[in-house]
Amino acid sequence: MSTIPTVDPATPAPTPTPAPAAAARPRRPRPTPGKVLAWVAMALIVLVTLFPFYWMLRTALSTNASLYEDPAAVLPPEFSTGGFARVFGAQSQEEALAEGGAATSLVFWRYIVNSLIVATLVTVGQLLFCAMAAYAFARLRWPGRDLVFGIFLAGLMVPTIFTLLPNFVLIKELGLIDNVLGIALPTMFMTPFAIFFLRQFFLNIPREIEEAALLDGVSRVGIFFKVVLPMAAAPMATLGILTYMTAWNDYFWPLMVSYTDDSRVLTVALGVFRAQSPQTGTDWAGLMAATLVAALPMVVLFALFAKRIVNSIGFNGLK
């Protein structure tokens, strides 16, 4: 309902005074030197982060020959989509050689599938097993729990390189060399970080919610799957994305255990472009195109979920 303002004729209407123009606009705070410095630092970091992506794109869209002639050109010295064509196997061997590409062909889709299988196995496995272990560390009472958790945390401090050889021997003994399962297995069950990350979240879930579920007739296992896990959807998603990205980008371990295209993942396969033959040098355009294509899914994933990842990690860190 709208009301019409009434004006008492006896009282003179106030004459509007023109407000100064500056007062009408919200005043911007003056930039302090500290803020300017912070912005410059941030701009530098953004530049340093984005420049390699730009350089990859610029190199991928050039011909190999032109790259040697003008290696420092900011724009592609001679525009060509040949690099991308070689990545997707759309060029014949002769055409590839003519453009300074590698003589070996790349089974791109096969590598993508292998990468997908490995990253999915690692992510699903880690989420499930780490969540169960983290819940046991957070909620169940059993002798030696805190000691075992301490040992797990100590595991966080062991550099991955130390575990490469023992893992290799184990996978070899299991007969899983040159097998996608062999690539996924060492990180498929758990990592100390994932357990630590989820345990912190589970510790913050009010115990009463689980007790309420117990009174509602849910079993202990049911509480984990029907109440605790759905409540942990956000940290699980964060962990899932981080794990997927790590598994996708892993290079050294897959390089050690896969020998053939049957198990070769994308990161390792990119090395094909670096191979030099008597006819050609390194296929920089092809290599950069392939790297870009390989990185693209992760860039998209990160762009979509970056906020959630930061929030979730921040949330856990603060609590």
Judged by the rule CB under 8 A, the positions of this chain that interact with another protein are 206, 208-209, 211-218, 222, 227, 230-231, 233
Q: List Cβ neighbours of 262 (8 Å cut-off, separation of 6 or more).
A: 178, 179
Which residue do the tokens 């780490």 mark? 130
Residue 214, token pair as written in the block? 């117990």
Distance of alpha carbon 297 from alpha carbon 213, whole angstroms: 39
Between 50 and 209, whose beta carbon lies closer to another protein?
209
Q: Of 216 and 261, which CB lies nearer to another protein in the complex structure?
A: 216
Instruction: Locate the DSSP E strands across 39-177.
Output: none
- Closest distance of CB 149 from another protein, Å: 20
Closest CA to 87 of 48, 68, 45, 59: 59
In sequence order, the 6+-apart residues with CB closer than 8 A to the CB of 91 are 82, 85, 99, 101
- Based on CB atoms, which residue is closest to another protein, 222 or 297? 222
In the complex with another protein, the residue whose CB is nearer, 164 or 231, is: 231
Name the minimum Å distance from CB 314 to another protein: 19
What is the nearest approach in angstroms of another protein to the Cβ of residue 309? 20
DSSP, collapsed to helix, strand or coil, labels residue 62 as strand
In the bound complex, what is the minimum distance in angstroms from residue 227's beta carbon to another protein? 6
CB atoms within 10 A of CB 197: 20
CB of 241 to another protein, least distance (A): 19
Tokens at residue 43, please? 């701009």
Which residues are CB-neighbours of 133 under 8 A, at least 6 positions away? 190, 195
Nearer to another protein, 156 or 234 (CB): 234
d(CA 52, CA 122): 28
**In terms of CB distance, is 164 or 229 closer to another protein?**
229
CB of 224 to another protein, least distance (A): 14
Return the bridge partners of 98, or none: none
